[in-house]
Amino acid sequence: MENQETTWKHVSFREHKGKYKGILAWILSTDHKRIGLLYFYTIIGFFLTGVCLGLAMKLELLAPGKTVMDAATYNAIFTLHGVIMIFLVVIPGLPAVFGNFMLPLMIGAKDVAFPRLNLLSWWVYVFGAIVALSSLFMQGGPPDTGWTFYAPYSFKTSTNMLPAVLGAFILGFSSILTGINFIVTIHRMRAPGMTWFKMPLFPWTLYGTAWIQILATPILAVTLMLIAGERLLNIGFFDPSLGGDPILYQHLFWIYSHPAVYIMILPAMGAISEIIPTFSNKSIFGYKVIVISTLAIAFVGYFVWGHHMFTSGMSGTALYTFSILTFLVAIPSAIKVFNWVSTMHKASIQLDPPFFWAVSFLFVFMIGGLSGLALGALSVNVHLHDTAFVVAHFHYIVFGGTGFAFMGAIHYWFPKMWGRMYNTRMATTGWIFFFIGFNTLYLPMFFLGVAGMPRRYYDYVDRFHGPNIISTIGSWVLFTGLMIIIVNLIHAAKNGPVASKDPWGGKTLEWTVDSPPTFENFEEIPVVEKGPYDYR
Amino acid sequence: MIEGSMNNASNFVETVDNAFIFIFGISLFFLFGITIVMVYFVIRYRKSKNPTATHIEGNTTLEIIWTVIPTILVVFMFYYGWSGWRFQRDAPEDAMSIKTIARMWSFSFQYDNGRITDTLYVPIHKPISLDLQAQDVIHSLYIPAFRLKQDMVPGKKDIVWFESGKEGEYEIFCAEYCGLRHSYMKTVVKVLSQEDFDKWNTVDTTAVVVDNTELGVRLAGKAIMRKYGCIACHTSDGSKLVGPSYKGVYGHKVTVIRDGEEVEVVADDEYIRRSIYEPNAEIVKGYSKGLMVSYKGQVTEDEITQLIEYFKSLSNN
């Protein structure tokens, strides 16, 4: 406190003294950086829970028949794995952690537009998570419906499905609040001179994501109201025994949950668009094209939900319309990949861990995207629908895409967020294990799916045994990599060497402030004259 | 795609596999092509080799090329997928119709002559149309070797058809998650020559002559339980699945929940009949409501009598 007078401009936000002390200084803080870290710690907690559930599932599938658990446990575990990973980890993931922390820094603002609303959305998130997971401690146990809660099974099961759905409902509000906050921040708080097309790409993807969050999430709320009406007032919306239509439920569910996939992947693309130019020491190739493709994905993404229902018996017209739209939504993603790779042409590349994550992101994201083409074709989809192929495709996009981008982002912005540097050699070792483990885990699932193994399978026939063994071994390799990464980062956060303002040579505004930033980020709001990736 | 690819196990195999191979080939080309270029760039332009980057902001011609080419390719992929699929929905008029019922957790197949089996028997080289009906929750009929899948949605009628060109036995799975024993909901389709099929279709191998020996009673009981898929949830050896076992029930006291209250009843003939025709009126304590559907109109009175004899025999020793 004594030397506050002399150095107040250079006190890190982590040491900044506010109204509260101790833990309250964090959980009641309206500082976007502290809220970003609050999200980070909660999300990592849930992520590790989800990882353990995933490991348990893979262990069960090591051999046919009962391996370590009974079918009821397995069914509950894959449901929890899905609910936790989707609603608690991947949907908030990049926007809530890196969006909160970096958005104001990158556009030259002191905070987001509504700091209190921002804190509220973290609290709503925590409350929603508690509600969603409360079923674990209730009689009847956690739901066993899969994270999709398909009617009418979800109405018949004796497990506690309602808390999970209610939790998802509450989490939706957190998502909407963050979305509104980011849209207003981006519209109103950019630094002077930062025109729309001088804005870095990560904020651009947050902008696209925010619109999906506020436009698609309410559908989830509507669906829940209908479920409540059905259960409490016996109005038949979805349950055929009451005269309802189970297909209507699937439509409503996917009208939200498909755009949600783009909520997951767009900010990941944004993070990659930051990492690649920084480590290439070169302007990103086709800036405007990447911006436009981001908006195109956000827009077309609303109209492809039907491809989750190709075998549900929808009309032929609906099927081929959804099929062609699904193929079209692949184009903007392909364009992004071409632009990212072209950025490396005639570049001067620093080989550091964030860049390894970005390059491996491109590889796994391509596998995920290209396998999506097979699923988009109607006749092929009929064979592959609801098989392990879909599980592999989905994990290549969401874990391979978003997960690798998250890993890249944490290694990229770590020196800024914690003000310290990690051991790059150990980070690279962790990445190698993670990358090999990831592919060993999920590649065999493509083969299992092509061979006809349905998903959500507790037990399987003998001919599926081989690939399942490889897949399970992969899960252990991946976990080893993850542990190396986590140990390295925890160690660095405490004892790592102090990081400079701009350890990687990045050109965006967050690299012009202290590491870690001061409470108000900028001593003086910068005036922007050049584009975000000008390395000349 | 699976072993014996490009075969004629069903009339869809060739078109589906062709479309898959087309898409897979293009995907592999792009995956390896882009990866090789990327790795080359990383090595060629690493900082130690190329200390200063060249400033490039973009190239409109390239952007147009890599927008147009993928668009053309995906339109072809769409067309392949769609053209292979469109005739899957309309069965030929002369197709042989088989009523297909799915419920937790078994399939059953009902033929025009009234025969009901748990295994699908079909003749070779004849279009078969399956009338799909789900009785409780959504299931999905999946025959990987035929490249065939269709969801079975309760309250919604649908058909799926195929014509097999190769005798043999092929797996049938349920592809839509349907609860506890989802992964055990499977059976097989047997493709027979027309002669073998006719022979099977006239000699009812599932009907068992009822004689009064214990063996006869048990065989008849077991056949009925298989036919209606009871064994997916109930056992005859006392072990607990989703529903109670039949062993040692008949003639003994059972604690059931009726209208939310616990009552003790004796498992007599009437109790057995009620349990099959109105399964949710009384639920044995410790089991869940709503899992079993009424078998009224399916299990006949005669069959119930046979089942009662069977349950008696399971309670005697």
User: Does residue B46 belong to the interface with chain A, where contact is any CB pair within 8 Å?
Assistant: yes
pLDDT of residue B147: 92
Write down which residue in B49, B68, B87 finishes a domain: B87
The DSSP line for B270-313 is HHHHHHHHSTTTEEETTS-TTSS---TTTS-HHHHHHHHHHHHH
Confidence of residue A510 (pLDDT cuts 50, 70, 90): very high
Q: How many domains does chain B have?
A: 3
Domain boundary among B176, B202, B228: B202
Residue A5 confidence (pLDDT) above 50: no
Least CB–CB distance from A450: residue in B2, B54, B74: B2
User: Quick check: A7 pLDDT over 70?
Assistant: no
pLDDT, tens digit, for every residue of B111-155? 888 788 889 999 999 999 999 999 889 999 999 999 999 999 998
Nearest neighbour of B147 by CB, restricted to A367, A377, A382: A382
Per-residue model confidence (pLDDT) at position B204: 60
Closest chain B CA to residue A153: B137
At CA A191, angle to CA A186 and CA A195, rounded to 5? Answer: 70
Looking at the structure, do residues B173 and B229 belong to the same domain, yes or no? no
CA angle A344, A420, A123 (to 5 degrees): 95
* pLDDT(B1) > 50: no
Average pLDDT value for residue range A200-204: 95
pTM over cut 0.80? yes
pLDDT on residue A158: 75
* Same structural domain, B43 and B127: no
Give domain A32-512's CATH number out of 1.20.210.10, 1.10.8.100, 3.40.50.300, 3.40.50.150. 1.20.210.10
* B100/B196 same-domain check: yes
Higher pLDDT, A159 or B16: B16
Residue B66 lies in a domain: yes
Which CATH number do you get for residue B68? 1.10.287
B214: distance to nearest CA of chain A, Å?
33
Per-residue pLDDT band for B206 (boundaries 50, 70, 90) equals low
| A310-354 pLDDT, tens digit each | 998 888 899 989 999 999 999 999 999 999 999 999 999 999 999
Task: Decide if pLDDT at B58 tops 70.
Answer: yes
Inform me whether the pLDDT recorded for A189 exceeds 60.
yes
Looking at this predicted complex, what is its ipTM? Answer: 0.90
Contacts of A323 in chain B (CB under 8 A): 78, 81-82
Average pLDDT, stretch B53-69? 92
pLDDT score, position A4: 44
Q: Within a domain: residue B1?
A: no
CATH code at B168? 2.60.40.420
Chain A residues inside the 8 Å CB shell of B186: 461
Classify residue A19 as exposed, middle or buried by CB count within 10 Å of its CB (0-12, 13-18, 19+). Answer: exposed
| The pair of three-digit structure tokens given for residue A91, joined into one six-digit string | 């949907």
Tell me the average pLDDT across B94-103: 91
Contact yes or no for B81 and A370 at CB 8 A: no
Of B87, B111, B127, the residue at which a domain comes to its end is: B87
Instruction: Give pLDDT tens digits for A463-501.
Output: 999 999 999 999 999 999 999 999 999 999 999 999 999
Residue A231 or residue A453, greater confidence: A453
Which of A144, A281, A380 has the CB atom closest to B23's CB atom?
A380
Q: Which of B53, B150, B151 sits opposite A280 (nearest CB)?
A: B53
Domain membership of residue B179 as a residue range: 96-202
Asked, for residue B47, whether it belongs to a domain, the answer is: yes
| pLDDT, mean over chain A | 91
CB contact under 8 A, A386 and B15: no
What is the reported pLDDT for B316? 67
Where residue B3 falls among pLDDT bands split at 50, 70, 90?
A: very low
Q: Give the pLDDT band of residue A9 (cuts 50, 70, 90).
A: low
Q: What residue ranges do the domains of chain A occupy?
A: 32-512
Residue among A245, A244, A89, A106 nearest A171 (CA): A89
pLDDT, mean of residues A58-83: 92
Is the model more confident about A3 or about A47?
A47
Residue pair A329/A301 in contact (Cβ under 8 Å)? The answer is: yes
Average pLDDT, rounded, for chain B: 86
Binary contact (B58, A366; C-beta < 8 A):
no
- Residue A59: the pLDDT is 95
The answer as to whether B4 is a domain residue is no
B156:A323 CB<8 A: no
Read off the CATH number of the domain in which B305 is found.
Answer: 1.10.760.10
Neighbours of A535 (CB within 10 A): 18
Q: Are residues B222 and B198 in the same domain?
A: no
Higher pLDDT, B211 or B239: B239
Please name the amino acid found at residue A471.
S
Cis bond before residue A246 (omega within 30° of 0) = no
DSSP for A525-536, written as a single string: -----S-TT---
pLDDT digits (tens, 9 = 90+) for A127-150: 999 998 888 888 778 888 888 888
Percent of chain B with pLDDT over 90: 41
pLDDT-above-70 percentage for chain A: 98
Q: Do B155 and A359 touch (CB under 8 A)?
A: no
The CA-atom distances, in angstroms, between A417 and each of A13, A27, A29, A35, A212 are 10, 17, 16, 12, 27
pLDDT at residue number A16: 81
Neighbour tally for B218: CB within 10 Å: 16
Q: What is the pLDDT of residue B249?
A: 84
